[in-house]
Amino acid sequence: MAKHDTPMLDQLESGPWPSFVSDLKEQAERRAKNEEGVEFQIPSDVCEDLLGVLELSFKHGRTHWKHGGIVGVFGYGGGVIGRYCDQPERFSGVAHFHTMRVAQPGGKFYTTDFLRDLMKLWDFRGSGITNMHGSTGDIIFLGTTTPQLEEIFFELTHNLNQDLGGSGSNLRTPADCIGSARCEWSCYDTQALCYYLTEEYQDELHRPAFPYKFKFKFDGCPNCCVASIARADISFIGTWKDDIKIDQEAVQGYIGGEFLPNGGAYTGRDWGPFDIAKEVIDLCPTDCMWMEDGKLKIETKECTRCMHCINVMPRALRIGDDRGLSMLVGAKAPILDGAQMGSLLVPFVKVEEPYDEIKEVIENMWDWWMEEGKNRERIGELMKRQGFQKLLSVTGIKPDARHVQEPRTNPYIFWNEDEVEGGWERDVDEYRKDHQR
Amino acid sequence: MAFISSGYNPDKPMENRISDIGPRKYDEFYPPVIAKNKGKWLYHEIIKPGILVHVAESGDEVYTVRVGGARLMSTGLVMEICDIADKHCDGYVRWTTRNNVEFMVDSKDKVDPLIQDLEGRKFSGGSFKFPVGGTGAGVTNIVHTQGWIHCHTPATDASGPVKATMDVLFDDFQQMRLPAQLRVSLACCLNMCGAVHCSDIAILGYHRKPPMLDHEYLDKMCEIPLAIAACPTAAIRPAKVEFKGQKVKSVAVKNERCMFCGNCYTMCPAMPLADKEGDGIVIMVGGKVSNRISPPKFSKVVVAFLPNNAPRWPETTDCIKHIVEAYAKGANKYERVGDWAERIGWERFFEVCELEFTHHLIDDFRDPAYYTWRQTTQFKF
């Protein structure tokens, strides 16, 4: 017998999509039965009370979590999101309901042994409810009490060789696309770079020292499967400099209908036979492709590597061999000054251990932002406030037409005094010798 | 519920403390076929909805079966995923950047038994535990947030509306009939944790009433200058207020300058603003992150308000279904929602989606608003 009536939530058990309500109810039953005799360290009816408080929110159209909550583990300034219910007497199982962010492995690959160890620990010391995964990438342990935080952290680090993720005004948990682990378009090893920089900047991740949050994300190519360009203060997006490799025989395979365009992504509808002119050549954003004597040609110099032709004909077209990544800076959600996507800062850098060139850009940027950034000002907003030129100067990067979508239209141009002959110190009396009042 | 120590000693908290070890290293968890062929993949195909094959230079193949997940998952369900991965995939599994689950096998004959196993598993209420799909030109999982499950600033729920929307769009999760892949996301307030500002269709929780002021506690609980600085439209100023015969330090909010973003409440617990009738949903469309053909785009607001109609949010799911059908009918192959809307013109987008255009949709936030108005005689009647 369920502890609380949940007539509204019950309606979310029907329909084909996996029902979180059914899952939570089944979990509540498992905890109630406790066939494995787990000595639960937080209330065993936590799932029932979570459903109960959620039902109340459905009824009230309002959240029932109190504002904020500051909890954590010694040595770190983040990693745990404290949360308390505003109806603790009615829903004592979720009176404390803190979230722990657990650092996820690159590409979110797991062995079942490791996952089971994590889940057993969470059953024992937490609610047994997770998010797989948080938007930033972390494994989310959803709901435990304050006294359990150090215990969980001790077990994570001592038994599972596993750390917490980030929260607060610091470097948050970096995340990557699947990269070269299982994708033919990855221009660098996203997992290797993500892991290296995560380890390199552990201190910046665990102890908030920044004006506000800062995120890294690593995309292997401009398709942006981890959405770095929209969701990271620095997005690392793979690219190449030389020719797209063309297998002309395979091109004929597509034209002849032997291979399905876009790997078969469009087979749910009859779009007619594949038409290379209409579907590839005419859609190329720079118009740098053509057919000549039955062969596909690409003028590399004019290609902006948007990925469309490669996406459509993965068996015929491959990324170049001179590979690296672009760095774009400043993406953020709307608060405070409006949403931003990453702006191109480094058009191309080679990705080679120990990644010194990349680290130099990151650290120069941090030096500037940590000194100049206002309280709760994302780096994207600092760029707007102090100008893109300032970002170039602190990173020692030479201005380049690639840095803009278009040049400025207003003529309100700043010059540095030393760029102007004679400087700015002038004597009006000298001027008056030639120009009477 | 006897307390059981992990070995941590609260009297000597820094003793035996391990810190700064980071995540486990990615390659500990690669299936052998992935470890062997990493960086040497030649091409891939989508064999049918939810099933991918990647072929390596060595000739090795890896078959991936993608299944939907609710993101909010119990340990019991994750254990069940482990059971499946043990049975079919030698104990390996992964999650995607949209919170789907991927099971990988190294030969074709292992695929069908895996699919059958996955599709046969249902929750007691009847929903699929592991619906196969989410590939190609269809609808995949909805990137979403905490909502009323865990957060203190939401204007709507996350898990509830997502379940309701995915039930309505479920056929498109399991097929590939759209002009391009269609990304739906949800955020329960305009902090936009996740991908709302850059998705084909986005569901956004929104308030419509200014904050209430808990004058008795405001100065005790809040750093007043931070609350003032939190306001994008400068609607908040410091104020001395008479409370029960005493002068207390507090703030004043100019209601007509407040656009209900809730950022002051994020900074100041004494300024709550959630409201049953006031709160609801904004629909945005036309964003994307890929650089394919067109550059990344922000999503644009096309519906200013839909009510929070729990538990199934029918107005929201109807609206989304309507947009998806109009897009499926009108867009060219490879066009994302934003590409299509820009090609036909937003005036035509509103017409074919049968959406009302109201004053709320015209940008009025600072200088950049001007660039969103129409400085041309080019328009369609």
Helix A20-33 with B159-168: angle, nearest 10 deg:
120
Domain boundary at A258, A292, A318, which? Answer: A318
- What CATH number is given to the structural domain containing A230? 3.30.413.10
- What CATH number is given to the structural domain containing A49? 3.30.70.2500
Question: Looking at chain B, which residue has its C-alpha nearest residue A197?
Answer: B22
Q: Annotate B189-207 with DSSP letters as a single string.
A: STT--SSGGGSSEEEEEE-
Supply the ipTM of this predicted assembly: 0.98
Residue A236 predicted with pLDDT over 70 = yes
Asked whether residue A329 falls in the same domain as residue A375, the answer is yes
Domain that holds residue A365: 175-240+325-418
A279 confidence band (pLDDT: 50, 70, 90): very high
For the segment A74-101, the average pLDDT, to the nearest whole number, is 98
In a domain, A428, yes or no: no
Using the CB atoms, write b or e for B293-321: b if 16+ within 10 Å: bbbbbbbbbbbbebbbbbbbbebbbebbe
Q: Is A184 in Cβ contact with B42 (below 8 Å)?
A: yes
| Cβ atoms < 10 Å from Cβ of A401 | 7
- With an 8 Å Cβ cutoff, is B282 touching chain A? no
Q: Is A43 in Cβ contact with B1 (below 8 Å)?
A: yes
Q: Is A60 in Cβ contact with B178 (below 8 Å)?
A: no
In a domain, A163, yes or no: no
- What CATH number is given to the structural domain containing A276? 3.30.70.20
Nearest to B311 among A12, A74, A260 (CB): A12
Tell which residue, B140, B137, B172, B141, has the closest CA to residue B292: B137
Asked whether residue A41 falls in the same domain as residue A186, the answer is no
Helix B337-344 with B314-330: angle, nearest 10 deg:
70
Asked whether residue A151 falls in the same domain as residue A54, the answer is yes
For the segment A225-243, the average pLDDT, to the nearest whole number, is 98
Asked whether residue A76 falls in the same domain as residue A91, the answer is yes
Asked whether residue A153 falls in the same domain as residue A192, the answer is no
Tell which residue, A43, A39, A161, A145, has the closest CA to residue A102: A161
In a domain, A427, yes or no: no
Nearest to A129 among B41, B74, B82 (CB): B74
Tell which residue, B192, B270, B289, has the closest CA to residue B227: B270
Using the CB atoms, write b or e for A90-129: b if 16+ within 10 Å: bbebbbbbbbbbbbbbbbbbbbbebbbbbbbbbbbbbbbb
Tell which residue, A1, A9, A4, A19, has the closest CA to residue A59: A9
As a three-state string, the secondary structure of B239-306 is EEEEECCEEEEEEEECHHHCCCCCHHHHHCCCCCCCCCCCCEEEEEECCECCCCCCCCECCEEEEEEE
Please give the DSSP secondary-structure letter assigned to residue B28: G
Q: Is B43 helix (H, G, I), strand (E, B) or coil?
A: strand
Q: Is A182 in Cβ contact with B123 (below 8 Å)?
A: no
Helix, strand and coil content of chain B, in percent to the nearest 5, comes to 30, 20, 50
- With an 8 Å Cβ cutoff, is B375 touching chain A? no
Alpha carbons B64 and B41: distance in angstroms, whole number: 14
Q: Is B289 in Cβ contact with A105 (below 8 Å)?
A: no
Q: Is A182 in Cβ contact with B62 (below 8 Å)?
A: yes
Question: Looking at chain A, which residue has its C-alpha nearest residue B161?
Answer: A12
In a domain, A166, yes or no: no
Asked whether residue A138 falls in the same domain as residue A42, the answer is yes
A96 confidence band (pLDDT: 50, 70, 90): very high
In a domain, A436, yes or no: no
Q: Is A338 in Cβ contact with B365 (below 8 Å)?
A: yes
| Tokens 């007619």, located at residue | A272
- State the smallest CA–CA distance between residue A418 and chain B in angstroms: 32
Q: Residue A336: is the preceding peptide bond cis (ω within 30°)?
A: yes
Please give the DSSP secondary-structure letter assigned to residue B211: P
Question: Looking at chain A, which residue has its C-alpha nearest residue B173?
Answer: A17
pLDDT in tens, A280-295: 999 999 999 999 999 9
Alpha carbons A418 and A256: distance in angstroms, whole number: 64
Q: Is B144 helix (H, G, I), strand (E, B) or coil?
A: coil
What's the total number of domains in chain A? 3
Q: Rg of chain A's alpha carbons, rounded to an integer?
A: 28
Question: Looking at chain B, which residue has its C-alpha nearest residue A196?
Answer: B25
Q: Is A21 in Cβ contact with B289 (below 8 Å)?
A: no
Show residues of chain B in contact with A99, CB under 8 Å.
150
Asked whether residue A251 falls in the same domain as residue A353, the answer is no
As a three-state string, the secondary structure of chain A is CCCCCCHHHHCCCCCCCCCHHHHHHHHHHHHHHCCCCCCCCCCCCHHHHHHHHHHHHHHHCCCCECCCCCCCCCCCCCCEECCEECCCCCCHHHCECCEEEECCCHHHEEEHHHHHHHHHHHHHHCCCEEEECCCCCCEEEECCCHHHHHHHHHHHHHHCCCCECCCCCCECCCEECCHHHCCCCCCCCHHHHHHHHHHHCHHHHHCCCCCCCECEEEECCCCCCCCHHHHCCEEEEEEECCCCEECHHHHHHHHCCCCCHHHHCCCCCCCCCCCHHHHCHHHCCCCCEEEECCEEEECHHHCCCCCHHHHHCCCCEECCCCEEEEEEECCECCCCCCCECCEEEEEEECCCCCCHHHHHHHHHHHHHHHHHCCCCCCHHHHHHHHCHHHHHHHHCCCCCHHHCCCCCCCCCCCCCHHHCCCCCCCCHHHHHHHCCC
pLDDT in tens, A310-336: 999 999 999 999 999 999 999 999 999
Q: How is residue B233 written in tokens?
A: 């439209």
Residue ranges of chain B with per-residue pLDDT less than 70: none
Asked whether residue A184 falls in the same domain as residue A146, the answer is no
Looking at residue A1, what is its pLDDT?
59
Nearest to A65 among B151, B191, B275 (CB): B151
- State the smallest CA–CA distance between residue A368 and chain B in angstroms: 22
Tell which residue, B194, B82, B209, has the closest CA to residue A133: B194
Dihedral-angle region of residue B334 (phi above 0 means left; psi in -120 to 50 means alpha; beta otherwise):
left
Tell which residue, B75, B312, B55, has the closest CA to residue A12: B312
A256 confidence band (pLDDT: 50, 70, 90): very high
Nearest to A157 among B21, B43, B151 (CB): B21
A264 CB contacts (<8 Å, ≥6 apart)?
A: B45, B46, B47, B136
Nearest to B72 among A111, A129, A198 (CB): A129
- Is the dihedral angle over the CA atoms A272, A273, A274, A278 positive or is it negative? negative
Q: Write down the mean pLDDT value for chain A.
A: 98
In a domain, A2, yes or no: no
Q: Is A266 in Cβ contact with B137 (below 8 Å)?
A: yes
Alpha carbons A174 and A195: distance in angstroms, whole number: 8
Show residues of chain B in contact with A335, CB under 8 Å.
190-191, 232, 261, 263
C-alpha triplet A282, B290, A105: angle, nearest 5°: 145
Question: Looking at chain B, which residue has its C-alpha nearest residue A83?
Answer: B150
Asked whether residue A312 falls in the same domain as residue A338, the answer is no
Domain boundary at A294, A318, A342, which? Answer: A318
Dihedral-angle region of residue A298 (phi above 0 means left; psi in -120 to 50 means alpha; beta otherwise):
beta
In a domain, A1, yes or no: no
Nearest to B124 among A26, A81, A375 (CB): A26
Q: Is B54 in Cβ contact with A183 (below 8 Å)?
A: yes
Q: Any bridge partners for residue B252, and if so which?
A: B237
A347 CB contacts (<8 Å, ≥6 apart)?
A: A326, A400, A402
Residue B241's Cβ-count burial label (10 Å; 0-12, 13-18, 19+) is middle
Interface test with B, best of A8, A39, A112, A326 (most B CBs within 10 A): A112
Q: Any bridge partners for residue A132, and if so which?
A: A139
- State the smallest CA–CA distance between residue B114 and chain A in angstroms: 16
Q: Is B38 in Cβ contact with A25 (below 8 Å)?
A: no
Nearest to A268 among B176, B197, B311 (CB): B176
Sheet of B101-105, strand order:
A109-111, B92-95, B101-105, B61-67, B51-56, B41-48
Nearest to B291 among A21, A161, A306 (CB): A306
Asked whether residue A249 falls in the same domain as residue A236, the answer is no
Asked whether residue A23 falls in the same domain as residue A39, the answer is yes
Asked whether residue A27 falls in the same domain as residue A116, the answer is yes
Please give the DSSP secondary-structure letter assigned to residue B158: S
Domain boundary at A158, A191, A216, which? Answer: A158
Alpha carbons B133 and B47: distance in angstroms, whole number: 11
Element (H, E) at B221: helix B215-221
Looking at residue B22, what is its pLDDT?
98
Give the number of beta-carbon pairs within 8 Å between A and B. 459
In a domain, A425, yes or no: no
Question: Looking at chain A, which residue has its C-alpha nearest residue B166?
Answer: A17
